[in-house]
Amino acid sequence: MKSPQFPLLTTLVLAAFFSFSWAILPHENFLQCLSLHSNDSSSISKVIFTRKNSSYDSVLDSTLWNLRFNTTNTPKPLVIVKPTQISQIQATIHCSRKHGLQTRTRSGGHDYEGLSFTAKVPFVIIDLSNFRTVDVDVENRVAWVQAGATLGEIYYRIAEKNNSLAFPSAVFHTIGIGGHISGGGIGLLLRKYGTAGDNVVDAQFIDVNGRVIDRKSMGEDLFWAIRGGGGGSFGIVLAWKLSLVSIPANVTVCSVTRVREQNGTELVHQWQYIAHNLPDEVYSTVLVSGVNSTQPGTKTVLAIFNSLFLGTIDEFLPLMEQRFPELGLTRQNCTEMSYIRAIMVNNGMPNQPLEILLNGTSRVPIVSPSYKAKSDYVKEPISISGLNGLFSRLTDDAAAMATLILIPYGGIMDRIPENATPFPHRAGNLYKIFYDVGWLETDNINTQKYLDWARNAYSYMTPFVSKSPREAYINFRDLDIGTNNIGHTSYAKASIWGNKYFKDNFRKLAQVKTMVDPQNFFKHEQSIPLL
Ligand SMILES: Cc1cc2nc3c(=O)[nH]c(=O)nc-3n(C[C@H](O)[C@H](O)[C@H](O)COP(=O)(O)OP(=O)(O)OC[C@H]3O[C@@H](n4cnc5c(N)ncnc54)[C@H](O)[C@@H]3O)c2cc1C
Ligand SMILES: *[C@@H]1O[C@H](CO)[C@@H](O)[C@H](O)[C@H]1NC(C)=O
Ligand SMILES: *[C@@H]1O[C@H](CO)[C@@H](O)[C@H](O)[C@H]1NC(C)=O
Ligand SMILES: *[C@@H]1O[C@H](CO)[C@@H](O)[C@H](O)[C@H]1NC(C)=O
Ligand SMILES: *[C@@H]1O[C@H](CO)[C@@H](O)[C@H](O)[C@H]1NC(C)=O
Ligand SMILES: *[C@@H]1O[C@H](CO)[C@@H](O)[C@H](O)[C@H]1NC(C)=O
Ligand SMILES: *[C@@H]1O[C@H](CO)[C@@H](O)[C@H](O)[C@H]1NC(C)=O
Ligand SMILES: *[C@@H]1O[C@H](CO)[C@@H](O)[C@H](O)[C@H]1NC(C)=O
Ligand SMILES: *[C@@H]1O[C@H](CO)[C@@H](O)[C@H](O)[C@H]1NC(C)=O
Ligand SMILES: *[C@@H]1O[C@H](CO)[C@@H](O)[C@H](O)[C@H]1NC(C)=O
Asked, for residue 195, whether it belongs to a domain, the answer is yes
3-class DSSP state of 370: strand
Residues 300 and 415 in one domain: yes
Q: Is the CB of 246 under 6 A from ligand 5?
A: yes
Residues 257 and 235 in one domain: no
Asked, for residue 12, whether it belongs to a domain, the answer is no
Give the residue from 207, 327, 231 showing the smallest Cα distance to 275: 327
- Kindly give the distance from the C-alpha atom of residue 61 to the centroid of ligand 10, in angstroms, as a whole number: 15
Residue identifier of the C-alpha nearest atom 13 of ligand 3: 61
Q: What is the pLDDT of residue 204?
A: 98
pLDDT at 13 over 60: no
Convert the pLDDT of each residue in 450-493 to its tens digit.
Answer: 999 999 999 999 999 999 999 999 999 999 999 998 778 899 99
**Rounded to whole angstroms, how far apart are CA atoms 368 and 365?**
8
Q: Which of 259, 292, 294 to mutate to test the pocket of ligand 8 (most atoms within 8 A of CB)?
A: 292
**Rounded to whole angstroms, how far apart are CA atoms 394 and 127?**
37
Domains held by the chain: number? 3
**Rounded to whole angstroms, how far apart are CA atoms 160 and 500?**
39
Residues 467 and 438 in one domain: yes
Q: What is the pLDDT of residue 10?
A: 38
Convert the pLDDT of each residue in 166-188 to its tens digit.
Answer: 999 999 999 999 999 999 999 99
CATH number for the domain that contains residue 176: 3.30.465.10
Contact 196, 181 (CB under 8 A): yes
Q: What is the pLDDT of residue 411?
A: 98
Convert the pLDDT of each residue in 247-286 to its tens digit.
Answer: 999 999 999 999 999 999 999 999 999 999 999 999 999 9
Residues 240 and 258 in one domain: no
Say how many C-beta atoms besides its own lie within 10 A of residue 472's C-beta: 26
CATH number for the domain that contains residue 468: 3.40.462.20
The 8 Å CB, 24+ separation contacts for 46-50 are 46/84, 47/81, 47/82, 47/83, 47/84, 47/88, 47/130, 48/79, 48/80, 48/81, 49/79, 49/80, 49/81, 49/82, 50/78, 50/79, 50/80
pLDDT at 313 over 80: yes
Q: What is the pLDDT of residue 38?
A: 77
**Rounded to whole angstroms, how far apart are CA atoms 329 and 146?**
41
**Rounded to whole angstroms, how far apart are CA atoms 528 and 497?**
10
Residues 395 and 278 in one domain: yes
Asked, for residue 506, whether it belongs to a domain, the answer is no
Q: What is the pLDDT of residue 41?
A: 57
Asked, for residue 448, whether it belongs to a domain, the answer is yes
**Rounded to whole angstroms, how far apart are CA atoms 417 and 421?**
8
Q: What is the pLDDT of residue 4?
A: 36
Residues 242 and 255 in one domain: no
Convert the pLDDT of each residue in 138-161 to its tens digit.
Answer: 999 999 999 999 999 999 999 999
Instruction: Quickly state the pLDDT bin for 8 (edges 50, 70, 90).
Output: very low
**Rounded to whole angstroms, how far apart are CA atoms 523 and 351?**
42
Q: Which of 126, 374, 475 to mutate to test the pocket of ligand 1 (most atoms within 8 A of CB)?
A: 475
Global pTM? 0.94
Q: Is 515 exposed, middle or buried (0-12, 13-18, 19+ CB in 10 A)?
A: middle
Residues 462 and 317 in one domain: yes
Residues 239 and 256 in one domain: no
pLDDT at 48 over 90: yes
Domain encompassing residue 44: 20-127
Residue identifier of the C-alpha nearest atom 14 of ligand 6: 333
Lowest-pLDDT range of 25-29, 155-159, 206-210: 25-29
Ligand number nearest CA of 212 is 4
Q: What is the pLDDT of residue 21?
A: 37
- Kindly give the distance from the C-alpha atom of residue 360 to the centroid of ligand 4, in angstroms, as a whole number: 28
Beta strands in 330-476 (DSSP E): 334-337, 370-378, 401-408, 431-439
- Spatial CB neighbours of 20, under 8 Å, sequence gap ≥ 6: none
Q: What is the pLDDT of residue 9?
A: 35
Residues 162 and 209 in one domain: yes
3-state SS, one letter per residue, for 289-330: EEEECCCCCCEEEEEEEEEEECCCHHHHHHHHHHHCHHHCCC
Give the residue from 27, 26, 34, 25 showing the smallest Cα distance to 95: 34
Domain boundary among 223, 246, 269: 246
C-alpha radius of gyration, the chain, whole number: 24
Instruction: Quickly state the pLDDT bin for 24 (edges 50, 70, 90).
Output: low
Number of helices (H), then strands (E), belonging to the chain: the values are 17, 18
**Local structure of residue 169 (DSSP, 8 states):** -
Q: How crowded is the C-beta side of 177, counted as CA atoms within 13 Å?
A: 31
pLDDT at 5 over 60: no
Q: Is 39 exposed, middle or buried (0-12, 13-18, 19+ CB in 10 A)?
A: exposed
Encoded amino acid at 103, one letter: T
When pLDDT is averaged across residues 199-203 and rounded to a whole number, the result is 99
Q: What is the pLDDT of residue 3?
A: 37
Asked, for residue 324, whether it belongs to a domain, the answer is yes
- Spatial CB neighbours of 512, under 8 Å, sequence gap ≥ 6: 221, 222, 224, 225, 229, 234, 528
Asked, for residue 68, whether it belongs to a domain, the answer is yes
Residues 65 and 119 in one domain: yes
Q: Is the CB of 369 under 6 A from ligand 1?
A: no
Q: What is the pLDDT of residue 42?
A: 60
Interhelix angle 86-98/26-36, nearest 10 degrees: 140
Residues 88 and 209 in one domain: no
pLDDT at 23 over 60: no
Q: Is the CB of 45 under 6 A from ligand 2?
A: yes
Instruction: Quickly state the pLDDT bin for 18 (edges 50, 70, 90).
Output: very low
CATH number for the domain that contains residue 28: 3.30.43.10
Residue identifier of the C-alpha nearest atom 2 of ligand 4: 87
| Sheet of 401-408, strands arranged across | 334-337, 251-259, 299-309, 282-292, 401-408, 431-439, 370-378
Share of the chain above pLDDT 90, in %: 92
Ligand number nearest CA of 317 is 6
Domain boundary among 191, 221, 246: 246
Asked, for residue 344, whether it belongs to a domain, the answer is no
Residues 431 and 469 in one domain: yes
Asked, for residue 325, whether it belongs to a domain, the answer is yes
Domain boundary among 102, 127, 152: 127
3-class DSSP state of 520: coil
